[in-house]
Structure 1
Amino acid sequence: MGEMKNINQTFYTDIREIIISARENAIRGVEYMRLMMYWRLGERIFIEEQRGQDRAAYGGYLIKNLAAKIEAEFGSGFSYTQLTRARKFYRLYPTVSKVHPQLNWSQYRQLISIDDDYKREYYELEATGNGWNGRELERQINSQLYERLLLSNDKESVLAVARKDCIPTKPAEIIKDPMFLEVLGLKREARYYEQDLESALITHLQEFLLELGNGFSFVARQRRILLEDDEFFADLVLYNRLLRCFAVIEIKTHKLTHEDLGQLQMYVNYYDRYEKLPDETPTIGILLCTAKNDLLAKITLPEDNTNILTSKYQLYLPSEEEFIEEIKEVIDLTEEHEENE
């Protein structure tokens, strides 16, 4: 046989895309059928348990005995725990139209474990809208994303943005404080240099943009700004399609200082005056620091400031107890400042 001629690359690419697309659709189809199976199981169990006079006691008895029989035939996917989850799944989502087909059973297992209705809805909407997989959803729940947004917003505004009932108009509506940057994969060291953090952010850019907030895309790194004979470099420049503005990010490996705020304000002013288009909104500046003094920032910046934000970052997720203490500390400081005003 003679040598085969080279296959046309476009033709080969088309064939690959057909196969990959078919496989992905098949997987999504299987995941959706699995999701609907658990919803229907939950519905049937719920209907059956309504026949008992003491429904709570009868429900537990019913599922326990059902699991003992059905798990032996179909495996661990139908254990007492899974069937209990299926019942809860149906009770939280009593109509199929409320179930998002983009999400799978493992993601809904995480969602139904959240008792707060507002919090559950927020993560459900964000997972659907941003295409989070199960691991990313778990990370965002564990990193207390919802609670961090609530530190500078109320429930209604947080959910309004997630529901797309309104377009965010203020940076604080989408930017989190504090930020947890364990996604950078840095080893635990006594000290880091700013260029180390910057390089890690670029390497894990997709994860960092998700942690930063919704709608961000990369523009430039170490953006050179020349003011007559003086040369400056902004660490990162992003663009936010929701706010329709540039975002200049400065990274500091120390506690916030007024000099840092002045430097960032200069970069923001430069972008507003030389880069921003007339129909775009004012540039925002984000200062990432290891610790911050909210009162110092408030005194340094103009009283009507809305475009310079400071966010404390941590390279590793705190424990639940540490995070609760941190939230309490922020709330106490906020109340103290409000009383003094």
Structure 2
Amino acid sequence: MLTNASLISEIKNIISQSRDNAVRSVDYQRTLMYWHIGQRIFEEEQNGEERAEYGTYLIKYLSEQLQPEFGSGFSYRQLNWYRQFYKTFPIMSALRTQLNWTQYKLLTSIDDAHKREYYIAESVKNNWSARQLERQINSSLYERLLMSNDKESVLAIAKGELIPNDASQIIKDPMVLEFLGLKRESAYYEKDLEESIITHLQDFLLELGNGFSFVARQKRIHLDGDDFFIDLVFYNRLMQCFVIFEIKTHKLTHEDLEQLQMYVNYYDRMEKLEYENKTIGILLCADKNNSLVKFTLPEENKSILASKYQLYLPTESQILEALKTEFDEFKKDQK
């Protein structure tokens, strides 16, 4: 027999799940309503002789007729959104029940189809809220992954069609840590950055991406009387390996890389199980010299990566410049 506590717990879970399902159902029905309205507006526009002028008149007229009775959800601006929503997602059966209207509004503003597909796949797979989706779009997540990978692989990994086999396929460079609330101008120690990451662990995991879980902070390693402490240890279930983070608030040096290599070697020899893949080490640094990284590490290196962090959201021009630099370096390496 169930105890009273177990019975209450089960019933509470049933109530919570039912409420969540009801909210999702209402959200989806509202999304479908907006899609159908957008479809009718678009179809009516196509029958107008002067399409651009008629479209403006039509939406303005509809707003005047609908808003007094149904409220601000049918303002001129909102009706324009519904029309654009239909144009962006013309196949109703392709709409995802896991996404709400706020998320679709964010997705509708993305012109690039590949980029939009990526955010849809990631939102569904990771159960992102609208706030989380907005943050990932604003932090240029898609573009940052493209710096180390190609469009097809980024999209395939997001859809679950491809299992990442290289750390560069899932580790972003730069990492955007604006959620830590640290000022760009402030001088601070590595322990300050580490403590702030732990305080905002959920946001940091979101920035890390798929498959990460937290393992340890200041992991102690004892080697013949000497103690060493690894800043942060995570595990990635997609790649089936430990991921070690060392935080440096200065421009990285070859000594930093050598220290991290020692930690990676220790985990591979002492912590890793036979079926697991090799440990990955990430130097999260304030600045880096790509040539120093390239020539300090072996040519076949896939275990150690350096990722620059920034404490503010990147601008579009910064992302474009970073992509151009990455492409120029790639062309240089091919010569």
TM tier, smaller = over 0.9
For 2:314 and 2:214, the matched residues in 1 are separated by 28
TM-score normalised by L of structure 1 = 0.92
Shift of 1:205: 1.2
Shift of 1:40: 1.0
Matched, 1:112 2:108: yes
1:305 equivalenced with 2:301 (yes/no): yes
The aligned amino acid for 1:225 is: I
Q: Which residue of 1 aligns with 2:89?
A: 93
2:251 is paired with a residue whose SS is coil
1:289 to partner: Cα distance = 0.2
Amino acid at match of 2:224: E
Quote the Cα distance in structure 1 between the aligned partners of 2:20 and 2:205: 26
Per-residue CA deviations over 1:172-192 (Å, capped at 9, x if unaligned) read 111111011112233555211
Write the distance in 2 (CA, Å) between the matches of 1:99 and 1:203: 36
Among 162, 167, 192, the alignment partner of 2:163 is: 167
Instruction: Provide the C-alpha distance between the structure 2 equivalents of 1:251 and 1:170, rounded to a whole number of angstroms.
Output: 21
Alignment map for 1:284-323 (pairs within 5 Å): 284-323=280-319
2:138 aligned residue: 142
**Residue 249 of structure 1: which of 238, 245, 248 is its match?**
245
Which amino acid in 1 is paired with 2:333?
E
Higher relative contact order (CA 8 A, sep 6+): 2
Give the gaps of 5 or more residues in structure 1: 1-6
Q: Does the Cα contact within 8 Å between 2:143 and 2:319 map onto a contact in 1? A: no
The Cα offsets for residues 290-313 of structure 1, whole Å up to 9 and x where unpaired, read as 000000000000001111110000
RMSD: 1.9
Cα deviations across residues 37-72 of structure 1 (Å, max 9, x unaligned)? 101111222222222244344333322221221122
Residues 1:186 and 2:182 are matched in the alignment: yes
How much does 1:334 deviate? 4.7
Partner of 2:194 in structure 1?
198
| Normalised TM-score (structure 2) | 0.93
Cα shift readout 1:47-100 (whole Å, capped 9, x = no counterpart): 222222443443333222212211222111111221122122122222222111
Query: What is the percent sequence identity of the aligned residues?
Result: 61
Q: Does 1:49 align with 2:45?
A: yes
Measure how far apart 1:321 and its partner are.
3.9
Match of 2:62 among 63, 66, 83: 66
SS of the residue corresponding to residue 253 of structure 1 reads strand
Aligned residue number for residue 28 of structure 2: 32
Are residues 1:154 and 2:144 paired? no
List 4+ stretches of structure 1 deviating above 6 A: none
- The residue correspondences of 1:221-236 to structure 2 (distance < 5 A) are 221-236=217-232
Q: 1:274 aligns with which of 255, 261, 270?
A: 270
1:338 paired residue number: 333
